[in-house]
Chains A and B, each alone.
Chain A
């Protein structure tokens, strides 16, 4: 595709629900990153994939957060038992390797 796409663009969840956020990186990009951006803050790193391998998940805030990229292309970030503090924009970025990161439009998650 022309760029990184993410779906859904907006998600409203009731506290305690599970959500799944999808990222379609640029075709051929090896590296894929997930970030969480709270209102008025900079993006905070969550996790990184190189192809299908999750090489760094040190930024995941709790064990309720899980990410996968089983075939080395599309990635899914799953949040179980959502809490209000999970409300944020979730950004996905991809890069060829370790160069320019191209960000998707993000998914705005609101937990009520």
Chain B
């Protein structure tokens, strides 16, 4: 069946460095939703991407959806310790499609 792959699995950065996580699929993604989950917490919605090539920004976070809708990325500029957590992407297919999460990228930030 369809898999949504996220890389890297872990990323350790120094505070102030940039961070990127990638979400890839062998099949066309429906819509992409990105979530952040703090240790011991639950997933918190960040953004939804719908259109091919779409780019959305939220302060230091930039989200992209690939032209072929087979990949997506989340980029954080100048990481802060508050960015620590696991970032998940989800293929959000609606009532007719898939609801598949990637395994997540766990970000740690060294002050």
Question: Interface of A with B (CB < 8 Å)?
Answer: 33, 35, 41-45, 48, 50, 55-56, 59, 91, 93, 98-106
Contacts and interface: CB of A to CB of B under 8 A. Distances in A.
B102 A99 contact: no
Contacts of B20: none
A70 B49 CA distance: 33
A102 B94 CA distance: 15
A105 B101 CA distance: 18
Nearest to A93: B43
Contacts of B100: 45
Given A42-B88, A42-B101, A42-B103, A106 B42 contact: yes
B48 interface: yes
A104 to B, nearest CB: 6
Given A91-B42, A91-B43, A99-B48, A43 B88 contact: yes
A42 B99 contact: no
Contacts of B68: none
B94 A103 contact: no
Contacts of B48: 99-100
Contact of A42 (B42, B44, B102): B102
